[in-house]
Amino acid sequence: MTPDDVLKTFITESRELLEVMETDLLGLERSGAPEETLNAIFRAAHTVKGSAGMFGLDHLVHFAHAVEGVLDAFRGQQLAVTPDRVSLLLRCKDHLSALLDEVAKGQLVPSPALAALTQPLALELGAQLGGPASLNPEPTAAPSGAWHVSVRFQPGVLRQGLDPIAFVRHLGTVGELLGVSVVEGPRTEDPTDCRLGFELALRGPADEAVINEAFGLVKDQCRLWILPPGSPTSAFLRMIDLLPEGPQVLDPLIAATGSVELSALQKARQASAAEDVRTVFLFEDLEAEAKAATATSSPPPQSPTNPSATSASRTANTTEAGSKEGRTLRVDADKLDHLIDLVGELIIAAAGGQVMARRASVPELEEVNSTIAELVEEVRDSALQLRMIKIGGTFARFQRVVRDVARDLGKDIVLEVSGEETELDKTVVEKLGDPLMHLVRNAMDHGIESSERRLAAGKPVRGTVGLNAFHESGNIVIEVKDDGGGLDRDRIMKKAIDRGLIEAHESLSDEQIFRLIFEPGFSTAAEVTNISGRGVGMDVVKRNVEAMRGSVHVRSQPGQGTTVSVRLPLTLAIIDGFLVGVGPTSYVVPLETVEECVELKSEGEAHYTNLRGEVLPFIRLREVFGLPANPNRRESVVVLRHGNLRAGLVVDTLLGEFQTVIKPLNAVFNRARCISGSTILGTGEVGLILDVAVLIKDSMQRAREHEDHPGTRSPVAPASVAS
């Protein structure tokens, strides 16, 4: 593993630890300050600090150390846990996350903007302990205010006509070279190989960009390290650890440049070794505390970038835990996405093979292709399962959102979560954050009443916002509920009439009226706040959800609250489909929406049929796409269900189940109704995937129009996509 790979692992692990830290800090307010929770928070902060020290990220180390001081006072009961102190630690966690984000972008020294925020937060932490916080600044290693430049030229640089000495001379033109040490590389059999390297101290107006530019022509033929003026001694130690020559060779050469004193390097290295020993003992103590805690306490997270911490963790873990760790593998998300793409192409190829086998009418070939198809289906299910993650992690982030927004609004609101174990595709989870954020904030601002109004209505002072997730008919349903005052039907109607969205004489159901809140710019808020009220947000929710082939539904009871249900497919990549035909063209219906298929009996001009005593509205797919009628053709009805709605789709032929690889439509088809995507059929032709939600809505609308105007045939606007 390269140093860059280790750094990426450190960043990933640290972000996970900070998420754990935030979750546990929020838990302190709800459940007091149990010892195991305080220990878990302290472990997270200490692990981030220890791992950051391995990379010379001293600004992270020092700030995390200041945070540890307050956490340790909590553990020793010198400080009481209060909402204000929790808020301070949450802001410190956010600052640590921001510092990590900069490291992830390659910025190992904090930007001026973030550096300016560090000291005020440190002072607040110090004030909690009765004095100014110490960030443990190390003495600057280069009191002369010089940059230190370390460069190693590649063996082939001379053969390309480049002179390493010339670059050193050029560097002397952008500043004053205070000291230069030559580093000689190992001998090779080729006398033309370059074995030169340099350690230089440079003082002057040059900045990092200018120094980098001085080596611009040779940047692909050298390795360059630049330490800014005032770098701590630990930064030099980190650089020396990355260089091949080692401390015995480099310590005196670097000291000879004047950038740092030899004694300072030796003392810092001894202190670092002592710190490693202390870290081992500290982690052993923390593990002992964790064992003594309740069985529900989580095991201390460890960073693989800290060897001593990892060693201590392995010693403390049980055999069973070690076995589980051995079965877990972190996989890059891009690799998983590439795997899903390959599986999709495999499905298309297998479908083509089945078509060719049927045409050849060779039983043995058909049997082999059938076996291949079954195996491909298993591979598909296994590959998709790799991308399935629990939604609990997404829900957990909203604890912080609810807490902060409630404080801003001056309301007492708690978040209740259920269904955290529900799984869905990670690509769906990634796109779900913004819609859920809008819905939760809207529920808190518009849904939950003030404490005075809740008391007057006989409700508890504390309002509740709920997040729930569950599977239903091959979809995932996510509900955002509140126990507030509910939607004002009359107010929504009046606003919609004023804006010209509906006519005053129109008779609409509650569901139709409530859907008006998703219109762009629609808002019934009496005043605009920094949370909501500008009429943006709910339309974004609808647009983002529909872009994922989902739908949004609203239920509300006056005085009891509102529930917004978001229905989404479990995956956006591969689905089980049901293939139907109209004339020579094939279409795909998501299989989870298909209940049954029946023969259509003549119903005259009606747009509904009798299905075992129940009225079933239907729509002809031929009319949807403007295809010519075929009166002699026998027709079938595919009974579809979407949520609580059911309708029929009339088609010519039923072609059976079909593994469907979803291909996005070109932007030119964005306005096409009734179409949610496309796929490649086994014949190589393109098949359109039908949008069941829109089809059911249109069929029910046509059935209502027929009831209002019997004897007339309501026109169907053909879909924008020609078959």
Position 468 pLDDT exceeds 90: yes
Structure tokens at 476: 């995932």
Distant-in-sequence contacts of 693-698, Cβ < 8 A, 24+ apart: 693/551, 693/642, 695/619, 695/624, 695/640, 695/647, 695/649, 696/640, 696/642, 696/645, 696/646, 696/647, 697/645, 698/619, 698/624, 698/673, 698/674
Tell me how far apart the alpha carbons of residues 92 and 63 are, in angstroms, rounded to a whole number: 9
Least confident of 196-200, 425-429, 579-583, 602-606: 602-606
- The secondary structure element, H or E, covering residue 555 is strand 551-557
Higher pLDDT, 327 or 629: 629
Position 225 pLDDT exceeds 50: yes
pLDDT of residue 573: 73
CATH number of 389-568: 3.30.565.10
Q: What percent of the chain has pLDDT over 90?
A: 10
Tell me how far apart the alpha carbons of residues 369 and 51 are, in angstroms, rounded to a whole number: 53
Residue 157 CA, chain-centre distance (Å), reads 44
pLDDT of residue 667: 65
CATH number of 147-259: 3.30.70
For the segment 577-593, what is each residue's pLDDT rounded down to a tens digit?
A: 899 988 888 899 988 88
Higher pLDDT, 550 or 2: 550
- The residues that bridge with 267 in the sheet, in sequence order, are none
What distances in angstroms separate CA 578 from CA 236, 346, 629, one per listed residue? 65, 19, 23
Q: Is the dihedral of CA 570, 575, 579, 583 positive or negative?
A: positive
Position 559 pLDDT exceeds 60: yes
SS3 category, 366: helix
Dihedrals phi, psi of 638, to nearest 5 degrees: -95, 115
Average per-residue pLDDT in the chain? 79
CATH topology classification for 574-708: OB fold (Dihydrolipoamide Acetyltransferase, E2P) (2.40.50)
CB 397 within 8 A of CB 448: no
CB 576 within 8 A of CB 592: yes
Overall average pLDDT of the 202-212 stretch: 82
CB 444 within 8 A of CB 484: no
For the segment 126-158, what is each residue's pLDDT rounded down to a tens digit?
A: 888 876 555 544 444 444 578 899 999 998 888
Position 643 pLDDT exceeds 80: no
pLDDT of residue 551: 84
CB 182 within 8 A of CB 162: no
CATH topology classification for 333-387: Helix Hairpins (1.10.287)
pLDDT of residue 708: 58
Least confident of 39-43, 289-293, 461-465, 696-700: 289-293
For the segment 56-101, what is each residue's pLDDT rounded down to a tens digit?
A: 787 888 888 889 888 888 888 888 888 888 899 999 999 999 999 9
Position 247 pLDDT exceeds 70: yes
Q: Sorting pLDDT into bands at 50, 70 and 90, what band is 482?
A: very high
Q: Sorting pLDDT into bands at 50, 70 and 90, what band is 520?
A: confident
pLDDT of residue 532: 54
CB 138 within 8 A of CB 233: yes
Residue 683 CA, chain-centre distance (Å), reads 37
Tell me how far apart the alpha carbons of residues 194 and 206 are, in angstroms, rounded to a whole number: 28
CB 436 within 8 A of CB 550: no
pLDDT of residue 110: 81
CB 481 within 8 A of CB 468: yes
Q: Tell me the pTM.
A: 0.60
Domain ranges of the chain: 3-137+266-320, 147-259, 333-387, 389-568, 574-708
Choose among 632, 468, 442: nearest CA to 522.
442
Q: Is the dihedral of CA 665, 667, 669, 672 positive or negative?
A: positive
CATH 1.20.120.160 is right for the domain spanning 3-137+266-320: yes
DSSP count for the chain of H helices, then E strands = 22, 21
Q: What percent of the chain has pLDDT over 70?
A: 82
Tell me how far apart the alpha carbons of residues 440 and 448 are, in angstroms, rounded to a whole number: 11
